[in-house]
Amino acid sequence: MSVVFHEESRTFSINTQNSTYQFKVGRYGHLLHLYYGRSMQESADFLIVPVDRGFSGNPYEAGVDKTYSLDSFPQELPTNGTGDYRSPAVIIENADGTEAVDFRYTGYSIEDGKYSLSGLPAVYTEGSENAQTLRIYMEDPFTHVKAELLYGVLPEIDIITRALIIRNGGEGKIYLEKVQGAVLDFVTGDYDLITFHGRHTMERVPDRTPVGHTNQSVCSRRGMSSHQYNPFVILADRSANEDAGDCWSMAFVYSGGFKAECEKDQYDQTRLQMGLMDEKFRYPLQSGQEFICPEVIMTYSAEGFARLSHNMHDCIRRHVCRGKFRDAVRPVLINSWEASYFNFTGELLFELAMQAKESGVEMLVMDDGWFSDRDDDRHALGDWFVNEHKLDGTLKHLVDRVNDIGLKFGIWIEPEGVNESSELYKEHPDWALVIPGRKPNRSRYQLILDFSRKEVVDCIYERISNVLRSANIEYVKWDFNRSIFDVYSATAREQGSVMYDYVLGLYDFLERMNRDFPNVMIEGCSGGGGRFDAGMLYYTPQIWCSDNTDAIDRLSIQYGTSFAYPISAVGSHVSVVPNEQNGRVTDISVRSAVAMAGSFGYEFSFTKIPQSDRDTINADIETYKRLAPLMMNGLYYRLSVPLKDAFTAWEMVARDGSEALVTAVTTEIHGNMPIRYVRMKGLETGRMYRDEASGREYPADVLMQIGWPIPAVLGEYHAYRLHLVRV
């Protein structure tokens, strides 16, 4: 059994293959956290040491016992108004205007299988997969507000999930002011917090900071998970590295505003927590209503960051992503955006498809500019009607022509945005999120449609569906090109509910697309990586990693992304040089090597690249198709740190150790440099491996202890690939 309840001690133990998570019901019904770490069978309740602490209050029931204090005890669900002055997970304004909630344990249930969440994405299992759910029931005896804590257990991959449901069991309306579904309390230890920050075109840069006596937080106030901070964090021992040390992670399965916090308290205890962003959030609950806080994925590794990433990759690849494309090698595509931007016709798109077909490309994606009078980003967004004049005929006519030469066809959409000049906005100005009496904040000359309203979602879904049904569309790139500033819904009774309900509307739209168009693969995008999170991956099995396609910048972007997200989820393409984001020039061999660490494709016009580059594309595509199963499903290892080392290297290893693919890109060149060695990981000790290209054989132990010497070649930016096969 993964979940065990010990009646005598009232202790719950959640066991995975390599970890144990343990908590107990305290003397007065509070849930006290005990342990999360290496597997063990015994009780860890001795870790809680009752001490009389000055200025730390005590529950009334404790009477004269001043040693029982929630201000110093580790907890599963800390709340406001209970004497715990650390950051709470839940803040509620009660019907009488008071702010206090004191959840006490009332019962539990254990069931086989993994729970699901109504209207929200969540980790899932299939068929006979071993999984369990633990439900903990709690209630405030004064207000009768109830809490249901859900724990999902996937023991084989060391994954534990947490979610929280709050129900108003009282008489009057209450307001949820802060809701976070996951909390970890550590009674001792010195830790680092690793977060992933960035900006548009430079996302998910790791930042490692010692946890001190302060509250550290990362969050998004933008209505999406954001380019600036990713909803994934790691807490690690100060000495933890890729291959050794204790580390824990949290990933929010949600695509809206989030907040992750970490603090060391007055007694050197550390609290890590994650959930919804509390700014612009004040959610009303009438009597009998419930609220679901999105899920948090947690995992623990005693073997450093590589093992932690493997757990997360397995979870997202097989238990978050869904549908027929989850395990499929994605078609190699050419996207029209950097080839022509808005300036295309149906004939030009067909010519691009013809050129791409000659090089082995499998799909043409028509990007922004195909609808209404959309010739720039100031017009027509929201008017989802095919511009047949621009396409030289119907969409079906163009798609059929492209299909006839053997290419699939994809299309770009941005359902959540609207231009003020559009017919949709003129007909329904109240459908946009705009504060009454104020001029709206614009971004990319557009506003955001109010997806918290069902009639708005229904209308846009019908229009997009009509387009998808009109032709053989097999791929959709879903974009979202601005943050949300003006939070006001014309029909919402409570504006504090709008942002959460907006995300529910987004998920409703995406769920319908998955249901009605199961043969259409959706790629998520938000100006690249602005909404790269586990919530979107539940509906879109891959996400455009970044609008920055420069190979050298991508080394850092894809490095940071790899800590939580598998290669199969990463959209990555080869583009022109000089690169249009930063002007850098790199050889196509480097651009191809970096783009193959993701779903592979191209972002240029074939007439704008040298013939020598075109000659290599066929071979690159053949290489990708041959190695894609290994890259999509192998164990991923980071072999260097971008910007710190003189090269960046990564490796994918078959789970049985039968083969490995190692890629290295040199990023520095100096006079008389020392030889650089790439130390490999995950190979089978005592065995020999043959390099497929050269035929040379290498002993695995030497490759893992010393490494493979990178050739000493003059000039910047060279890429090397070794496909090693076990002899």
- pLDDT, tens only, 487-496: 999 999 999 9
Does some domain include residue 498? yes
- pLDDT, tens only, 50-70: 999 999 999 999 999 999 999
Does some domain include residue 695? yes
Q: Which of 89, 70, 77, 75 is nearest to 32 (CA)?
A: 75
Catalytic residue check, 192? no
Q: Within 447-518, where are the H helices?
A: 454-469, 498-516
Does some domain include residue 326? no
- Say yes or no: 622 and 652 in one domain: no
647 has pLDDT over 80: yes
- Say yes or no: 395 and 502 in one domain: yes
- Say yes or no: 621 and 654 in one domain: no
The pLDDT score that the predictor gives to residue 643 is 82
Q: How many CA atoms lie within 13 A of 366 on its CB side?
A: 28
Query: What average pLDDT does the structure give for the chain?
Result: 96
Do 324 and 565 contact (CB within 8 A), yes or no?
Answer: no
- pLDDT, tens only, 169-210: 999 999 999 999 999 999 999 999 999 999 999 999 999 999
Query: Of 633, 666, 695, which one is at a domain's C-terminal end?
Result: 633
Domain containing 106: what range?
A: 3-319
665 has pLDDT over 80: yes
The pLDDT score that the predictor gives to residue 609 is 87
* Annotated active-site residue in 71, 368, 479, 613: 479
- pLDDT, tens only, 133-175: 999 999 999 999 999 999 999 999 999 999 999 999 999 999 9
Residue with tokens 């119907």: 394
- Say yes or no: 131 and 77 in one domain: yes
Length reported for the chain: 727
Per-residue pLDDT, averaged over 696-702, amounts to 98
Torsion of CA 51, 55, 57, 62, to 10 degrees: 50
**Angle at the Cα of 274 (from 545 to 477), degrees rounded to 5?**
25
- Say yes or no: 566 and 599 in one domain: yes
Report the DSSP beta bridge partners of residue 725: 659, 690
120 has pLDDT over 90: yes
**DSSP assignment, residue 683?**
P
Catalytic residue check, 547? yes
The pLDDT score that the predictor gives to residue 711 is 95
- Say yes or no: 626 and 674 in one domain: no
Torsion of CA 90, 95, 100, 103, to 10 degrees: -60
What's the total number of domains in the chain?
3
Query: Of 633, 656, 676, which one is at a domain's C-terminal end?
Result: 633
Biggest distance spanned by C-alpha atoms of the chain: 85
Do 34 and 11 contact (CB within 8 A), yes or no?
Answer: yes
Q: Which two tokens stand for residue 229?
A: 């901070």
Tell me how far CA of residue 696 lies from CA of 573, 705, 712, 722, in angstroms.
31, 18, 18, 11
Three state DSSP letters for 28-40: CCCEEEEEEEECC
- Say yes or no: 299 and 359 in one domain: no
* Annotated active-site residue in 71, 547, 613, 620: 547
Rounded Cα–Cα distance for residues 501 and 276 (Å): 12
Provide the CATH number for the domain around residue 662: 2.60.40.1180
- pLDDT, tens only, 240-286: 999 999 999 999 999 999 999 999 999 999 999 999 999 999 999 99
Query: How do strand 542-544 and strand 521-524 relate by DSSP bridges?
Result: parallel
Helix, strand, coil shares of the chain as percentages rounded to 5? 20, 30, 45
Rounded Cα–Cα distance for residues 348 and 109 (Å): 61
Amino acid type, 607: T
- pLDDT, tens only, 332-381: 999 999 999 999 999 999 999 999 999 999 999 999 999 999 999 999 99
The pLDDT score that the predictor gives to residue 357 is 95
Does some domain include residue 324? no
- Say yes or no: 302 and 381 in one domain: no
321 has pLDDT over 90: yes
Cis bond before residue 436 (omega within 30° of 0): no
- pLDDT, tens only, 576-612: 999 999 999 999 999 999 999 999 999 999 888 888 8
Q: Is 89 helix (H, G, I), strand (E, B) or coil?
A: coil
- Say yes or no: 450 and 545 in one domain: yes
- Say yes or no: 271 and 364 in one domain: no
Does some domain include residue 640? no
Does some domain include residue 463? yes
Instruction: Give the number of other CB atoms < 10 A from CB of residue 55.
Output: 8
Provide the CATH number for the domain around residue 604: 3.20.20.70
Tell me how far CA of residue 405 lies from CA of 364, 475, 604, 624, 645, in angstroms.
11, 17, 20, 22, 45
Query: How do strand 191-199 and strand 232-237 relate by DSSP bridges?
Result: antiparallel
Does some domain include residue 383? yes
Query: Of 605, 633, 661, which one is at a domain's C-terminal end?
Result: 633
Provide the CATH number for the domain around residue 149: 2.70.98.60
1 has pLDDT over 90: no
- Say yes or no: 293 and 430 in one domain: no
Query: How do strand 3-6 and strand 659-666 relate by DSSP bridges?
Result: unpaired
Rounded to a whole number of angstroms, the CA Rg of the chain reads: 27
Question: With b meaning 16 or more CB within 10 Å and e meaning fewer, what string describes 575-591?
Answer: bbbebebeeeebbbbbb
- Say yes or no: 106 and 144 in one domain: yes
127 has pLDDT over 90: no
The answer to pTM > 0.95 is yes
Does some domain include residue 327? no
